[in-house]
Amino acid sequence: MKLEIGNFYVKDIVFGDKTFYENGILTINKEEALAFVKEDEHIIEADIKIVKPGENVRLVPVKEAIEPRVKLNGDPLFPGVTGDVVKAGNGRTHALKGCSVLVVGKHWGGFQDGLIDMSGEGAKYTYFSQLKNIVLVADTDEDFEKREQQKKNRALRWAGMRLAEYIGNAVKELEPEEIETYELEPITKRAKEVNDLPSVVFVMQCQSQMEEMGYNDLVYGWDMNHFVPTFMHPNEVLDGAFISGSFMPSSSKWSTYDFQNFPVIKRLYKEHGKTINFLGIIASNLNVALDQKERSALFVSQIAKSLGADAAIVAEEGYGNPDADFIACIVALENEGIKTVGLTNECTGRDGQSQPLVTLDEKADAIVSCGNVSELIELSPMETVIGELKSLARDGLSGGWAHDEVLGPSVREDGSIIMENNSMFCGDQVVGWSPKTMKEF
């Protein structure tokens, strides 16, 4: 399987009378783009704004992020979601780099939504403050969930994906500035010098806790609550086979943009044939019942052992209940003699004194921490708020609150806020963006 991603590096984004890309400038016909979005009858209000790094802008409630792309063969950008189920990971895809489509609720937020600051103290907590963002600010007629703390956000998420594909079409016929090529030989057909290197597999534990459909990550449009651990080609991940769900507290989530650009996968590709033999991906799940967790751990370890893995990296999307899956998977791999490193955030409480993961084991002795979800963060007011700031406190965002006996309200009268890291949009960046490290004492 050979995937070529043709990159176009966006220097600026402006509105104009047509949508096109030229000399690093992405021009968007706002009216045409909005008309395309509003083809979905569930979108009742919508606007598009452009925000850039360094601007005095706060976005909340942020629901999704997608990189604008287009597939040259006409296949849907997200197979099984925005079009038919077809194979991802092969052929040519064009991508607009340095930018994203952000989806922001005009009013209603929920447990899984987050916040992005484009400047100031808050900007360092999320990768998306570094990007030029095309912001779809919208509301829907999904009245049944507006006052629910847990939302599927279906119409808004799908609108963002469709908008990303519409914008991506601007570079479909152009020659890219750079082409990244991702190709792995079949495991049994690799050269001896590659097979002699340490063999590494990446275990990707996607969020799938909700037994009701519509909240979990999707793979080729399939709800991952129904999924079992499966060996997959890394190109499928980078080319739209996975989309983000709408369940986890925001700092722990992997956005669709994260799946499209997964830094851990790209680094493993970079080392393939040099320091390691990159076997591929074991896509796994994070279900609720204990027997499901144990079964998945056994599946993962059996697949890894059968592939001949010497080492594994396990990345967990989420925390709390999924910690049991995470540790069980590491232990099962170690029991097979496979040296394993884990990537996760922690929930150590606001004072940092609590147990970092729900469950631990002596065999989980190599874990990379990407931050504490409960860390308190104070942020100054911003000149511009896109969305609705009071949603952080009113609507049950996982890191905000209406009132605390000690700390007071999460959103203060002057527009400043205090909140937990939980509410930073994809802030813990377990996929590999994270600049965080441990402090030594």
Q: By percentage, how much of the chain surpasses pLDDT 70?
A: 99
Is residue 395 assigned to a domain?
yes
Predicted confidence band at 385 (pLDDT cuts at 50, 70, 90)?
very high
Average pLDDT over every residue of 93-119: 97
Question: How many domains, in total, are found in the chain?
Answer: 1
How sure is the predictor about 406, in pLDDT bands with cuts at 50, 70 and 90? Answer: very high
- Domain annotation covers residue 356: yes
Model pLDDT, residue 351: 87
- pLDDT at position 416: 98
Could you please report the per-residue DSSP string of 93-153? EEEEETEEEEEEESS---TT-EEEESSSGGGGG-GGGGSEEEEEEEEES-GGGTT-SS---
SS3 content of the chain, % helix, strand, coil (to 5): 25, 30, 45
Residue 148 or 314, more confident: 314
Question: pLDDT tens digits, residue range 304-352?
Answer: 999 999 999 999 999 999 999 999 999 999 999 999 999 999 999 998 8
Q: Is residue 117 pLDDT above 80, yes or no?
A: yes
Task: Enter the DSSP assignment of 224.
Answer: G
Q: Is 430 a domain residue?
A: no
What are the pLDDT digits (tens) for 129-143? 999 999 999 999 999
Say yes or no to pLDDT of 440 above 90.
no
Residue 438's pLDDT band (boundaries 50, 70, 90)? low
- pLDDT value at position 429? 94
Does residue 253 fall inside a structural domain?
Answer: yes
What mean pLDDT is reported for the chain? 96
Answer yes or no: is 245 within a domain: yes
Q: Which residue's entry shows tokens 């009268």?
A: 413
Helices 30-37 and 154-168: crossing angle, nearest 10°? 140
pLDDT band for position 434 (cuts 50, 70, 90): confident
Residue 152, in any domain of the structure: yes
pLDDT band at 353 (very low <50, low <70, confident <90, very high): confident
Q: Is residue 436 predicted with pLDDT exceeding 80?
A: no
pLDDT, position 441: 67
- What are the phi and psi torsion angles at 102 (to 5°)? -100, 140
Local structure of residue 276 (DSSP, 8 states): B
Predicted pLDDT of residue 297 = 97
Kindly report, residue by residue over 184-224, the tens digit of the pLDDT: 999 999 999 999 999 999 999 999 999 999 999 999 999 99
Pairing of strands 178-183, 277-284: unpaired
Give, in degrees to the nearest 5, the angle at Cα 2 between 19 and 96.
20
Of 204, 63, 82, residue with least CA distance to 142: 63
pLDDT in tens, 29-60: 999 999 999 999 999 999 999 999 999 999 99
Q: How far apart, in whole angstroms, are the C-alpha atoms of residue 89 and residue 14? A: 31
For residue 13, the model assigns a pLDDT of 98
* Host domain of residue 128: 2-423
Residue 436 lies in a domain: no
> What is the rounded average pLDDT of the residues 361-370?
95
The angle that helices 322-335 and 290-307 make with each other, rounded to 10 degrees, is 40
440 is a domain residue? no
Average pLDDT, stretch 340-367?
A: 93
